Structure 1
Amino acid sequence: MKRYAKVWLALMMAGTVHAEDVHVAVAANFSAPMKEIGERFERETGHKVLATAGATGKFYAQIKNGAPFEVLLAADDETPARLGQEGSAVAETRFTYAIGKLVLWSTQAGVVDPQGRVLAQGSFAHLAIANPKLAPYGAAAMQTLDKLGVRERLAPRLVQGDSIAQTHQFIVSGAATLGFVAMSQVFSGGKLQSGSAWVVPAGMYSPLRQDAVLLERGKGKPAALAFLRYLKSEPAREVIRSYGYDL
């Protein structure tokens, strides 16, 4: 407990002595809210956010291989915990910044019904998902297919993206008629922005708890500490909620 208190005391006292860059690895599903949060953070602190979006699994490998990230916003809670256990992150700084929601989505109106029955009917050529080995949202999609009992039948139609961002692009480009994406990618202000969608019931997949953590390269860096502190602030939480995440 004492060590935990010391870490967060340092975080709370980290001030803007001078403007710095903070290198953030951010899960692809969180790229839109990250942009807004980053802009607000820059205006309020003078620090500069350099964010790279991608698959959490790939970030793990890059961090272990010396990538210059100082903060990780993962799409799960397991990767930050593992990095902390392995000494690549400051374990005491880990916290859940958002809980994600999975959505089955098509750019075309009327393709996806509100109950997701389209998956059982199978009236489509390709279904896009993120690689379940790299992206937690992909793993959640596979769990959903298992719950519905259609995984084996739909396996030949699956198109996998390296990240949830690439999966979204497969649907937008027409490479797949529909697919599983993050709610934050297609909803804004609580409303679907285009096409048709089914918000998958939370009980059909493991909770998508998304954790943030200070990486070893961020230790002692005022900008990195200030960003983590800002991510827990009410202005940042407002943005997170506006994209459909739970807190």
Structure 2
Amino acid sequence: MRPLLGLVFGLLLGAAQAAEVNVAVASNFTAPMQKIAAEFERDTGHRAVLSFGATGKFYAQIKNGAPFQVLLSADDETPARLVREGSGVAASQFTYAIGRLVLWSRDEGRVDAQGAVLKGGSFRRLALAEPKLAPYGAAAMEVLQGLGLAASLAPRFALGQNIAQAFQFTETGSAELGFVAMAQVYAEGKLTRGSAWVVPASMHTPIKQDALLLKAGQSNPAATALLAYLKGEKARDIIRSFGYDL
């Protein structure tokens, strides 16, 4: 009887200690974060409730009182801004991944290894995330400006609200080419389909993706546990496997 009672009390104690955390996640980090969240719950008992979208939109939602407790941003400036404005915990900010930008097409052979297809003109639409909302879109604009193509290609832009929508435009063929996150089209270091140019990191500002504990999550044990988990080797291995730098 005593072992049974001990098991029951143990389960009740575990349930009492487990908590939920509401996490705003940059859309480019969808696949790795879904995998990390599953491992996090399995290892800690805490549950991460994930919302995916554009970092710029999350900023506006947080400022308007959205109940997020952790932000996994697509840049490092938005978390820093939230800290300056009193919405985030300064000591908690850290870079959890460095994103890589890829010019991608679902068609085999369309994109060459140097991205010269951008100058060739053999496409109608070029998808990218809205530069004012999404850091990957801002990086894409830097690349186009550096190539001297931003103005001439602007009429062909298919702007997505975030990198997930830019990928959707390209995947469905609405746009023949798209600037997407490497994690969306690479797995275990290999291109999953289509053709791609991995944009040299030197062609744009580093896409440092920072995590932040928001003031609303200060007393939530699941929030602090998740940030600690992201620094662990299991999470870092998952992040690397999706093509991010650390």
Match of 2:9 in 1: none
Matched, 1:180 2:179: yes
Check conservation: 1:16, 1:222, Cα contact below 8 A: no
What is the CA–CA distance in structure 1 between the aligned matches of 2:130 and 2:229, rounded to whole Å?
31
Tell me the amino acid that sits aligned with residue 80 of structure 1.
P
Match of 1:86 in 2: 85
Within 5 Å, which residues of 2 pair with 1:184-223?
184-223=183-222
Check conservation: 1:16, 1:223, Cα contact below 8 A: no
Match of 2:126 in 1: 127
What is the CA–CA distance in structure 2 between the aligned matches of 1:126 and 1:138, rounded to whole Å?
15
What is the CA–CA distance in structure 1 between the aligned matches of 2:22 and 2:117, rounded to whole Å?
41
TM-score (norm. length: structure 2): 0.93
- Aligned with 2:225: secondary structure? helix
What is the CA–CA distance in structure 2 between the aligned matches of 1:200 and 1:62, rounded to whole Å?
31
Deviation digits for residues 49-106 of structure 1, max 9, x if unmatched?
A: 1000100000000000000100000000000000011110101100000000000000
What is the CA–CA distance in structure 1 between the aligned matches of 2:47 and 2:95, rounded to whole Å?
23
Which 5+ residue runs of structure 1 have no aligned equivalent?
Answer: 1-14
What is the CA–CA distance in structure 2 between the aligned matches of 1:173 and 1:218, rounded to whole Å?
38
Deviation digits for residues 139-186 of structure 1, max 9, x if unmatched?
A: 000000011111111111001000000000001111100110000010
1:16 Cα deviation after fit: 8.7
Matched, 1:64 2:63: yes
What is the CA–CA distance in structure 1 between the aligned matches of 2:74 and 2:15, rounded to whole Å?
28
Check conservation: 1:104, 1:180, Cα contact below 8 A: yes
Report sequence identity in percent.
63
- Aligned with 1:84: secondary structure? helix
What is the CA–CA distance in structure 1 between the aligned matches of 2:58 and 2:15, rounded to whole Å?
28
Check conservation: 1:107, 1:194, Cα contact below 8 A: yes
Tell me the amino acid that sits aligned with residue 128 of structure 1.
A
Deviation digits for residues 185-242 of structure 1, max 9, x if unmatched?
A: 1000000000000000011100000000000110111000000000000000000000
What is the CA–CA distance in structure 1 between the aligned matches of 2:79 and 2:121, rounded to whole Å?
37
Which 5+ residue runs of structure 2 have no aligned equivalent?
Answer: 1-13
1:40 Cα deviation after fit: 0.3
**Larger Rg, first or second structure (1 or 2):** 2
Match of 2:234 in 1: 235
Q: 1:86 to 1:125 in 2, by over 3 A?
A: same
Match of 1:145 in 2: 144
Match of 1:117 in 2: 116
What is the CA–CA distance in structure 2 between the aligned matches of 1:80 and 1:16, rounded to whole Å?
32
Check conservation: 1:72, 1:212, Cα contact below 8 A: yes
What is the CA–CA distance in structure 1 between the aligned matches of 2:121 and 2:238, rounded to whole Å?
36
Match of 1:167 in 2: 166
Any runs of at least 4 consecutive aligned residues in structure 1 with deviations exceeding 6 A, and if so which? none
What is the CA–CA distance in structure 2 between the aligned matches of 1:96 and 1:16, rounded to whole Å?
31
Deviation digits for residues 6-40 of structure 1, max 9, x if unmatched?
A: xxxxxxxxx99611111000000001000110000
Matched, 1:31 2:30: yes
What is the CA–CA distance in structure 2 between the aligned matches of 1:106 and 1:40, rounded to whole Å?
32
Tell me the amino acid that sits aligned with residue 119 of structure 2.
A
TM-score (norm. length: structure 1): 0.93
Match of 1:55 in 2: 54
Within 5 Å, which residues of 2 pair with 1:5-20?
18-20=17-19
Q: 1:102 to 1:176 in 2, by over 3 A?
A: same
What is the CA–CA distance in structure 2 between the aligned matches of 1:156 and 1:50, rounded to whole Å?
39
